[in-house]
Amino acid sequence: MVIKKLRHPKHEFFVPLRRFVRSRKKYLLLSLGILIFILMFKDIFILLLLGTIVMAIDFILHKTRFPIHADFLFFSSLVITRAYGFNTALIFAIIAGNLPEIFTGTFDIPDMLSTIPVILLCFLSDYFLQWNIVILGIIFSVVFALLEFFIALILAEPPHKVIFEPLVVLIINILLFINMGEFILYLMKI
């Protein structure tokens, strides 16, 4: 007596699944590789992600010649200082703050000088490690806006750069620190 293999309808579910995996094997392997990279090198991934966001926004603002230059460099640098230290934030601020201007061909003295207050305040934030990131961020955002105001005033920038831009940057930074400061710092320290 020959025993035949019976096909049960319950097992037919795996046939389309096998076909799906076989046809998209390289995409699934790529996704798995990216997931392993994120899990193994979380810190590098977060720095790359923040850097890409900061540089993309800065690149778009310079490429479109938008008159107000408000980006997330200060917020990102201060959070990176708190999570990874001043040296990492220094490299991040120099690269993310100046690379978009170099790529768009709009690299000038005011843009170069605007990274100096970021670096200075990141250095000072190392001395306030016991403070809450939201409180420190709000205080340093006010100081940053004042420094930006005085830099624009000294360089005889147009009136919208002297008055309006530091005010917009102040509002954006305060909102970022209140809404996302602790959350992003938590993600970096997991």
Helices and strands: H and E segment counts in the chain: 9, 0
**Is 1 part of any domain?**
no
pLDDT in tens, 13-30: 666 777 777 777 888 888
Domain that residue 153 falls in: 41-189
Cβ proximity of 62 and 161 under 8 Å: no
**Is 179 part of any domain?**
yes
Q: Which residue has the higher pLDDT, 22 or 40?
A: 40
Q: Domain holding 124: CATH number?
A: 1.10.1760
Of all residues in the chain, what percent carry a pLDDT higher than 70?
A: 92
pTM exceeding the 0.85 threshold for the entire prediction: no
Q: How many domains does the chain have?
A: 1
**Is 130 part of any domain?**
yes
**Is 157 part of any domain?**
yes
Cα–Cα separations (whole angstroms), residue 101 to 51, 69, 106: 14, 11, 5
